């Protein structure tokens, strides 16, 4: 089961880097391309004051992190346990 959804775009370098880091750490997530899913773009805008800033991660508790480090993600996941 994934604990968060990562909203991203295929051309976002930060997104690709973070996905690689998460994959190496064995942290599972659901990836959603906001360019292919209009509803996802709206979620990202809500989390970022109207901006489509990616990567934006939305966790099962409804909280969000924008362009986080792996350490920040690990801390948030530990908080959710």
Structural domains in the chain (count): 1
**E-state strands within 1-81:** 4-8, 30-33, 56-59, 64-66
Which domain, by its residues, includes 11?
A: 4-80
Asked if residue 31 lies in contact with residue 55, where contact means CB atoms within 8 angstroms, the answer is no
What would the pLDDT profile of 21-80 be if each residue is shown by its tens digit?
999 999 999 999 999 998 999 999 999 999 999 999 999 999 999 999 999 999 999 999
pLDDT at 2: 77
The answer to whether residue 12 scores a pLDDT higher than 70 is yes
Domain CATH for 50: 3.40.30.10
Q: Which residue has the higher pLDDT, 66 or 81?
A: 66
pLDDT at 1: 66
pLDDT at 55: 98
Taking the CB of residue 54, how many other CB atoms lie within 10 A of it? 25
pTM: 0.94
């Amino acid at each position: 089961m994934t604990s968060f959804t990562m909203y991203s775009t295929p051309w976002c370098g930060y997104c690709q880097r973070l996905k690689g880091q998460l994959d190496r750490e064995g942290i599972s997530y659901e990836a959603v391309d906001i360019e292919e899913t209009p509803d996802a773009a709206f979620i990202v805008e809500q989390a970022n004051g109207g901006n489509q800033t990616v990567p934006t991660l939305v966790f099962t508790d409804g909280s969000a992190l924008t362009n986080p480090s792996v350490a920040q993600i690990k801390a948030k996941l530990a908080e959710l346990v």
